[in-house]
Structure 1
Amino acid sequence: MATKTDIRRDIRQLKRMLTDEQKAIAASKCFSRLEQCQEFIDADRILVYASLPDEISTDEFISRWYGRKQIFLPRVNGDDLDILPYRPGDTAEGAFGIDEPTGSECRDISEIDLVVVPAMAFDRRGNRLGRGRGFYDRLLHNATCPLIGAAYAIQIVEHIPAEPHDIKIPTIVTDEETIRIQQYGISNS
């Protein structure tokens, strides 16, 4: 069985093989699927990640929905993530080279209607493998809103070793499918 380190290494290698065109097409397909989810349709306040170069890009999604929905981005604050409103031109490169909001209007996770969650990998049981620092596990620990993972199809793996503190993601959208993890089984569309 693959370790978390093995999975991260393998996914990094697979993502490096994607061309810029493949990445752009995949992001468009992935976020088109997300926009069809009832959780997205019902949400007014959406927390979405500012994508790193190796993550499925959120740039077009953020641009398209800014002004139509309230968009929030995370900002690293020590070992935690703060939630701040997104405003074009009001971001700066923060921790880990990620664009982060520069404002001071921090919000609580309870004010968010939907969280779009990044990952290194997901499995079909809703397990998520992040980059290893636990930022999203800590942020989402008390979340009651829907969580939707966004990833390339190549980031769906057979099994991710899960620990008690790991947060499960009940819906995952990729460029190829929407995976819904239900209490008694899995639904794909």
Structure 2
Amino acid sequence: MSNQIAALRQKFRKKRLKISTFEQRQSENTILNLLRQYPEFEHSHKIGLYLNAFGEIFTDKIITYCFTRHKAVYLPMICNMNQHLVWVRITQQLYKNKRFSMHRLGMLEPMSSRGLHVSQLDLLIMPLLACDRLGTRIGMGGGFYDRTLASAPYKPYRLGLAHHFQLSNTLLTRNPWDQPIDGLITPSSSYRFKRHLGQ
């Protein structure tokens, strides 16, 4: 990992953790309104989401909205054998009752012994630390999303959620293993990237 990426991670982690709950709730509401207008969201049935834990955009209202639209909600679980993510479907009742376990890295996971491969999802809504205007994504550094998405080049549609300041106007270094995203929603706008350009 380059010093530049390490410094960026540290900078964005600190900045993200300073966001107040009030600001988070405002961002969550605005992003949900933008998401509702996003065609890939409207046309997707199987949707992968995340449970916010480290200052990411809150997802509670998005998950609840998915249930009201009768969409199938899947949450990530780390497979200890290969350090990939698998996607476990949760019901509204399980979500309401918070039937989750705490992973050693500090985030909640669904309690299950199996899940779907990411390619079986229609839409994957992802957290990130930073993203540039070509769709290059920097995550928390564990590589879970990169390893998982490397085996699913065309499906699902990859949509990042981020705060305003996480969109970098400077192009980020994209390593061979980095998995770019197809779109990004921030509280101010939505963006689309040409991930498969030239492939």
With the length of structure 1 as denominator, give the TM-score of the two structures.
Answer: 0.89
Structure 2 CA distance, aligned partners of 1:50 and 1:60? 11
Question: Is 1:39–1:114's contact at 8 Å kept on the other side of the alignment?
Answer: yes
Superposed, 1:118-129 pairs within 5 Å as 118-129=127-138
Superposed, 1:35-74 pairs within 5 Å as 35-66=36-67, 68-74=70-76
Kindly provide the amino acid, as one letter, of the partner of residue 150 in structure 2.
Answer: H
- State the partner residue of 1:22: 23
Select 1:173's aligned residue among 185, 188, 193.
185
With the length of structure 2 as denominator, give the TM-score of the two structures.
Answer: 0.85
CA shift in 2, pair 1:184/1:117, >3 Å: closer
- State the partner residue of 1:150: 161
Question: Is 2:159–2:183's contact at 8 Å kept on the other side of the alignment?
Answer: yes
- State the partner residue of 1:139: 148
Question: Identity across aligned pairs (percent)?
Answer: 25
RMSD of equivalent CA atoms? 2.1
Which has the higher relative contact order, 1 or 2, with Cα contacts under 8 A spaced 6 or more apart? 1
Q: CA deviation at 1:106?
A: 1.3
Select 1:85's aligned residue among 85, 89, 92.
89
CA shift in 2, pair 1:149/1:163, >3 Å: same
**Structure 2 portions without partners, runs of 5+:** none
Question: Is 1:151–1:174's contact at 8 Å kept on the other side of the alignment?
Answer: yes
CA shift in 2, pair 1:50/1:184, >3 Å: closer
Structure 1 CA distance, aligned partners of 2:39 and 2:89? 22
Q: CA deviation at 1:24?
A: 0.9
Aligned residues: 185
Structure 2 CA distance, aligned partners of 1:117 and 1:100? 15
- State the partner residue of 2:110: 101
CA shift in 2, pair 1:61/1:163, >3 Å: same
Runs of 4+ in 1 over 4 A off after TM superposition: none
Select 1:75's aligned residue among 41, 53, 77.
77
Structure 2 CA distance, aligned partners of 1:183 and 1:151? 18
Query: What per-residue deviation string (whole Å, max 9, x for no partner) do you get for residues 112-169 of structure 1?
Result: 1100011111111100001111100111113222110111111111222110111111
- State the partner residue of 1:163: 175
CA shift in 2, pair 1:113/1:15, >3 Å: same
Kindly provide the amino acid, as one letter, of the partner of residue 38 in structure 1.
Answer: P
Kindly provide the amino acid, as one letter, of the partner of residue 170 in structure 1.
Answer: D
Question: Is 1:44–1:113's contact at 8 Å kept on the other side of the alignment?
Answer: yes
Structure 1 CA distance, aligned partners of 2:10 and 2:100? 30
**Structure 1 portions without partners, runs of 5+:** none
Structure 2 CA distance, aligned partners of 1:156 and 1:2? 19
Query: What per-residue deviation string (whole Å, max 9, x for no partner) do you get for residues 9-51 of structure 1?
Result: 2212322332211111012112221221111011000001111
Q: CA deviation at 1:184?
A: 10
Moved more, 28-37 or 168-177: 28-37
Structure 2 CA distance, aligned partners of 1:137 and 1:70? 23
Query: What per-residue deviation string (whole Å, max 9, x for no partner) do you get for residues 84-113 of structure 1?
Result: 112323322223221211123411222211
